[in-house]
């Protein structure tokens, strides 16, 4: 499920949007989200790398033989291998070697914080790989502008992070601390309108307001199609840093934002209540008359010559897809004079 605050933010952006292509893209996001909630299906085929922030009270006593890390990973394993709702396993061991799938989406990325108290507080997110791939980091000079740097790097991210979404920005600390701050910031609710209404009370909030406005003015828009909304919110977390440094990290969250929060107090399991289907707007998306319908089974190279930039094209028929690993394998086979397993003609 999308979090309710995210659904509401996309709907508000949809209502404001003036660019037809971007408005159509957000309509499809909202319709897809509602259908997935009704049918209990993932909102994206990339069901993410599990990222967990665990805050443990110092008075907590564990009645367990497993380590906390093992407990978290066992929870991930059971969730992704649930026979009633098998999710895609995307985690590969030996990342610069064999890149073999672990088969159960473990291990998770786990961050711990130890605080006074007797409860365990858990934030968990399923972070997609496409948006994670657009992460940026810089060690700026202390006098450099964070705003200028963000406005320089966001256009270079293109639409590969599937906007509209959120930007998490971490400032300060060391290199790894800035990255952690940026990731943790993405767990916060969408509340930029409330912040704009009450005004900023510190520098981080000033940056949020300024960057929300200026990033959206870039005109990247939903799915990179232009329009008014590229980001639904900008989150900024900062931390004291060395006088010689200004570490800055930016991590985007895509339109498949998925995270949950719960607390364990020893009284029993924590239950997550799914959002009500009434939380989703009922949107009807019409393709209109100016749509080109293409049957891929009969498509010829000459047909493509008539296509125009900005056209809406509805595809039917058989399509083969592949990512960079498949592309490399095909080019290697062709270079060796080997025959591809499927024909690329047609």
Distance, in Å, from the CA atom of 340 to the CA atom of 10, rounded to the nearest integer, reads 42
Helix (H) or strand (E) holding 285: none
Of 112-126, 143-157, 210-224, 322-336, the least confident: 322-336
Give the strands of the sheet with 259-264, arranged side by side. 109-115, 49-57, 120-127, 259-264
Looking at residue 45, what is its pLDDT?
87
CB proximity list for 280: less than 8 A, separation 6 or greater: 7, 30, 33, 34, 37
Looking at residue 322, what is its pLDDT?
85
pLDDT confidence of 333, banded at 50, 70, 90? very high
Residue 285 pLDDT exceeds 90:
no
> Is there a contact between 208 and 192 (Cβ–Cβ < 8 Å)?
yes
Looking at residue 310, what is its pLDDT?
72
163-180 pLDDT per residue, tens = 999 999 999 999 999 999
pLDDT confidence of 144, banded at 50, 70, 90? very high
244-271 pLDDT per residue, tens = 999 999 999 999 889 999 999 999 999 9
Residue 84 pLDDT exceeds 90:
no
pLDDT confidence of 346, banded at 50, 70, 90? low
> Is there a contact between 256 and 3 (Cβ–Cβ < 8 Å)?
no
Residue 142 pLDDT exceeds 70:
yes
Cis peptide leading into 184, omega within 30 of 0? no
Looking at residue 85, what is its pLDDT?
80
pLDDT confidence of 320, banded at 50, 70, 90? confident
pLDDT confidence of 308, banded at 50, 70, 90? confident
């Amino acid at each position: 499920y999308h979090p309710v605050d995210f659904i509401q933010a996309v709907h508000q952006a949809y209502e404001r949007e003036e660019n037809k292509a971007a408005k159509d893209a957000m309509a499809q996001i909202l319709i897809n989200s509602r259908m997935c909630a009704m049918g209990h299906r993932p909102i994206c085929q990339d069901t993410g790398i599990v990222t967990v922030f665990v805050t443990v009270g110092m008075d907590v006593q564990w009645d367990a033989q497993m380590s906390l890390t093992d407990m978290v990973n066992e929870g991930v394993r059971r969730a992704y291998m649930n026979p009633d709702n098998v999710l895609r396993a995307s985690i590969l061991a030996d990342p610069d070697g064999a890149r073999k799938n672990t088969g159960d989406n473990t291990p998770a990325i786990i961050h711990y914080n130890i605080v006074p108290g007797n409860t365990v507080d858990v934030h968990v997110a399923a972070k997609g790989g496409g948006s994670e791939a657009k992460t940026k980091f810089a060690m700026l000079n202390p006098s450099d502008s964070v705003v200028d740097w963000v406005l320089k790097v966001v256009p270079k991210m293109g639409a590969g992070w599937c906007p509209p979404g959120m930007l998490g920005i971490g400032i300060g600390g060391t290199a790894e601390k800035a990255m952690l701050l940026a990731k943790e910031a993405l767990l916060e609710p969408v509340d930029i309108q409330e912040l704009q209404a009450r005004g900023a009370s510190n520098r981080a909030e000033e940056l949020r307001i300024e960057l929300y406005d200026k990033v959206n003015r870039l005109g990247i828009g939903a799915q990179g199609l232009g329009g008014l909304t590229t980001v639904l919110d900008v989150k900024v977390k900062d931390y004291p840093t060395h006088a010689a440094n200004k570490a800055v990290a930016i991590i985007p969250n895509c339109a498949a934002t998925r995270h949950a929060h719960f607390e364990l107090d020893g009284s029993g399991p924590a239950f997550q209540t799914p959002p009500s289907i009434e939380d989703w707007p009922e949107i009807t998306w019409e393709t209109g008359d100016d749509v080109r319908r293409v049957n891929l089974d009969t498509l010829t190279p000459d047909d493509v010559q008539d296509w125009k930039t900005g056209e809406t094209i509805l595809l039917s028929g058989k399509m083969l897809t592949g990512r960079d690993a498949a592309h490399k394998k095909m080019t290697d086979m062709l270079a060796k004079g080997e025959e591809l397993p499927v024909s690329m003609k047609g």
